[in-house]
Structure 1
Amino acid sequence: MSKKEKGRIEGKGVLVRGVIICIAAAIIASLAIAGSAAEQTSGTVNVTVNAPEMTRAGEIFDASIDVDNVTDFNSGQFDLSFDANVVKVTEVVNGSIDGKTIPVDRWERMDEDTIRVFLAVSGIAGVSGAGNLATISFAVVGKGGDRSVLDISEGLLGNTEAEEIPAVWVDDEIIVGPVKVEVNAPEFVAVGGTFTATIDVVDDVANFNMALFDLSFDSSVVNVTDVAEGSLDGTAIPVTSWAFIDSNTIRVMCELSGVAGT
């Protein structure tokens, strides 16, 4: 999973999965951005947002706030920011380190895009080990292709001596998808007749700009005579090119002019 390290690594990892039928590997490669893993120095712990790489519209998912090798942890707090047009927080629950509960003392909404979480361990013994500080549940309200960074900031960890525990705070990112795309054709056709098959985008999609797909068929049964433009939410989707790859397969490219997407 791709991460971004605060104050040390400014790279951001994005894993994009194809959502168009038979999408070419070259397109996937062009959308992949190399990520950077968190580095840890001696005496410093990593606090990492750990969320699924991909979610679907309408789903609920959990993001844990993971910590490694903390010593005598007693209290802490952090802010978590996100795109409220893509995800919304529904719940924040206790964490666990080395089998011991890390209570969420309270959490509050700073604004529609940010929550603040406070942690407190009762007693003075403190907790040591690895685990997670809290788990945050999100509802996905965005469309396919939307994405949101889960940005952790304003973090502070304290030990039993009322000293700050040095930490590196690492973000994560989620992508809404994959979008379902299906071929829609009549079940029966007449011998010698013609018919039309559409390539339908079943799920809501955000910021669509281009598509590439192959469509294969049995050329002894049917053959392609034309490929016409499509439409998404009333916006024309031009077919910029199509060609026979072999007698049984065509390759189609669609692209919107400009960069706004639909």
Structure 2
Amino acid sequence: MEEKEKEIGKSSVRTQKSSMVDIAVLLALIAIVVAAFTVLPVLVSAAQEVEVRVNAPEYVAGTFNVTIDVDNVTDLNSGQFDLSFNSSVVNVTDVKEGEIDGVAVPIFMWHFFDADTVRVLISMPMDVGANGSGSLAEIEFEVKGNSGEKSALNISNEMLVDTKAKKIDADWYDDEVAVLGTMVSVNAPAYVEETFNVTIDVANVTDLNSGQFDLSFNSSVVNVTDVKAGEIDGVAVPIFMWNFFDSDTVRVLISMPMDVGVNGSGYLAEIEFEVKGNSGEKSMLDLSNRQLVDTKAKKIDAEWYDGEVTVLGT
């Protein structure tokens, strides 16, 4: 009887030890699973997708730059892409090297594949790879279209290659630009006395070759004494002629040399006035019969804004 009780006791101890071992194994497995899930986000983070995107301003005027940005690239040694656009709206003038985390990305070559597409090839020295984020290339454009016109900037025939001559998988994203509207406005001081100057300001104009406008005013309050040349981004805008259309209106014609266009912002003309009225009297400065023309003899769409002056009290 005592021997049986001893055997039962030994069996109970073995069962308890076995249970403790099972629990220890279970806890170890749980710890491994927890550790695996803890490490998983790090592994996922380390395998971030490479992205390449066209980085362009939303609205453009005159000239502008576009970068072909790249994120999270590893061992980049060479690559190529075609960039397509609407050449009647914007056109490429140059392609310059990119930079990834302080490392220059040389342009091996670039050329026009057709009128609406440039092909760009980049290449690092042999066995040299660039890592990180930056740009593959910087592309310079000039605006050819009119206000409100748009052009997609689409990438195709794209490829990135690493130092082992293996293709680097990447997601590629296009972009779009819209031509900023041309604006013409009367820039006059709010209050005037004796003599003062008014400029006919223009913003965001492209290929301006000629134009005209009538400026009307109350000749009993203010009167024009002279009209002088304008200037757009450092380029003189000659006055072809000006004259009094009637006692309250001057007509101004501007003209650049044939086939010469001016781009950017500035003023079409500077108009000198003298005060004729009394303190507190006002005169509108209204633009009419207005038109701007580009180097192809096409009308440039623009928004025109008038002005007003008040004779300063004495």
Q: TM-score range by the shorter chain?
A: 0.5 to 0.7
1:161-197 per-residue CA deviation (whole Å, 9 max, x = no partner) reads 211111111111111113215476425467xxxx994
**Does the CA contact (< 8 Å) of 1:54 and 1:175 recur in 2?**
yes
1:64-92 per-residue CA deviation (whole Å, 9 max, x = no partner) reads 00001100101100000000001111100
Q: SS in structure 1 opposite 2:182? A: coil
Shift of 1:115: 0.7
Partner residue of 1:47 out of 45, 52, 55: 52
Match of 2:148 in 1: 145
Counterpart mapping for 1:1-262 below 5 A: 42-56=47-61, 59-182=62-185, 185-186=216-217, 188=219, 197-198=286-287
- Mapped to 1, the partners of 2:46 and 2:113 lie a distance apart of 31
For normalisation by structure 2, the TM-score amounts to 0.47
**Does the CA contact (< 8 Å) of 1:179 and 1:204 recur in 2?**
no
For normalisation by structure 1, the TM-score amounts to 0.56
1:75-110 per-residue CA deviation (whole Å, 9 max, x = no partner) reads 100000000001111100110001011010001111
Distance 1:185 1:114, change over 3 A: same
Q: SS in structure 1 opposite 2:174? A: strand
- Mapped to 1, the partners of 2:131 and 2:168 lie a distance apart of 12
Distance 1:201 1:151, change over 3 A: farther
**Does the CA contact (< 8 Å) of 1:182 and 1:201 recur in 2?**
no
Q: SS in structure 1 opposite 2:97? A: strand
User: Higher relative contact order by CA 8 Å / sep ≥ 6: 1 or 2?
Assistant: 1
Shift of 1:44: 2.2
Give 2:180's aligned amino acid: G
Give 1:125's aligned amino acid: V
**Does the CA contact (< 8 Å) of 1:185 and 1:196 recur in 2?**
yes
Give 2:54's aligned amino acid: V
Distance 1:188 1:112, change over 3 A: same
Give 2:140's aligned amino acid: S
**Does the CA contact (< 8 Å) of 1:74 and 1:121 recur in 2?**
yes
Shift of 1:123: 2.6
Shift of 1:160: 1.1
Higher strand share: 2
Distance 1:41 1:148, change over 3 A: farther
Name the larger-Rg structure. 2
Give 1:47's aligned amino acid: V
Q: What is the CA RMSD across the aligned residues, in angstroms?
A: 3.6
Unmatched 5+ residue regions in structure 2? 1-44, 187-214, 222-283, 295-305
Q: SS in structure 2 opposite 1:84? A: coil
**Does the CA contact (< 8 Å) of 1:179 and 1:201 recur in 2?**
no
- Mapped to 1, the partners of 2:146 and 2:118 lie a distance apart of 22
**Does the CA contact (< 8 Å) of 1:181 and 1:200 recur in 2?**
no
1:102-155 per-residue CA deviation (whole Å, 9 max, x = no partner) reads 010001111000011001110313110100000010111111111111111111
